[in-house]
Amino acid sequence: MNFGGVDESVVTREEFPLEKAREVLKNEVIAVIGYGVQGPGQSLNLRDNGFTVIVGQRKGGKTWDKAIADGWVPGETLFEIEEACKKATIIQYLLSDAAQIEVWPTIKPLLTKGKALYFSHGFGITYKERTGIIAPSDVDVILVAPKGSGTSLRRMFLEGRGLNSSFAVFQDATGRARERAVALGIGVGSGYLFETDFKREVFSDLTGERGTLMGAIQGILSAQYEVLRENGHSPSEAFNETVEELTQSLMPLFAENGMDWMYANCSTTAQRGALDWMTPFHDATKPVFQKLYDEVASGNEAQRSIDSNSKSDYREKLEEELKALRESEMWRTGAVVRKLRPENS
């Protein structure tokens, strides 16, 4: 398929329908290991689409209870991690990157010949010298990475839509790795699938998360909010002009038909200002994005994540940082603004 003049390999639901995916995986038992970020959405979508799915999770924790609340039955479709892996022909390794490193010694002996090891992030395999995640040579190693959170994947599935995903094959031991990956991609509810490899997936993913998806957007929003506040604008005015109009008015237009269409549906004053200022913002931020990409490509960013996530007090420190973000004036203002939206009145 041609994207902006460049040909890419993609798979659509029309050419690989759900019925075909069910046929490809009809003799497979899919074990979803981990019930945190991606696990619930992927497992529930697969189950609702008619695949044989079980969940592997540590017993007794909040996520075990969440799995039960979602309809997974202990001893029938919900098992301890080791038991689930023994029963599975496809192991969907959806633990966090840090947890994947920790649990790998348990998983590896259970990857017997012909099984498939499935990831939704290329981190563990791409940085295998750092993570120690090296799969046996007689199993398929595949990837399907939904381009969004597990919550979004599930919500869009229930709305009859799909979240686009990338897919990749790192190791094809059975000759069926690609069709297994594509079938699973269709099964979890992808809108369409575009082909990549593990390294490109993790490089783009880490850059995107730290860039426009999360890091850059928070940095830009807070910078504009601060400038408005420092120049005498009220919290409500600063938040509405910085965040509310962006998320509630402009982004839906952007998502519907693209940035050019969004521009066309704004005032001529807004259009002129946007066209005049987009180049200075581009020129100011591109060096930051290049530095970010270089840090990802070198492995430095991965090592920082591994080092910080392996500390015993990691979660406590993370919560402190998130609390500071949550309790900043901008986001406390946001909580009030959201409550005042008509649908919440």
* Residues taking part in catalysis: 121
Cβ contact 193:221 at 8 Å: no
Tokens encoding 124: 């563990």
Cβ contact 193:145 at 8 Å: no
Residue 46's nearest CA partner among 141, 126, 118, 140 is 118
- What CA–CA distance (Å, rounded) separates 44 from 198? 25
Residue 110's nearest CA partner among 33, 181, 24, 185 is 33
DSSP state of 74: B
Amino acid letter, residue 125: I
DSSP state of 38: S
Tokens encoding 40: 């619930």
Amino acid letter, residue 324: A
For 288-339, give the secondary structure using H, E and C: HHHHHHHHHHHCHHHHHHHHHHCCCCHHHHHHHHHHHHHCCHHHHHHHHHHH
Residue 258, SS3? coil
Tokens encoding 267: 């005032």
- What CA–CA distance (Å, rounded) separates 216 from 288? 10
Tokens encoding 314: 């990691």
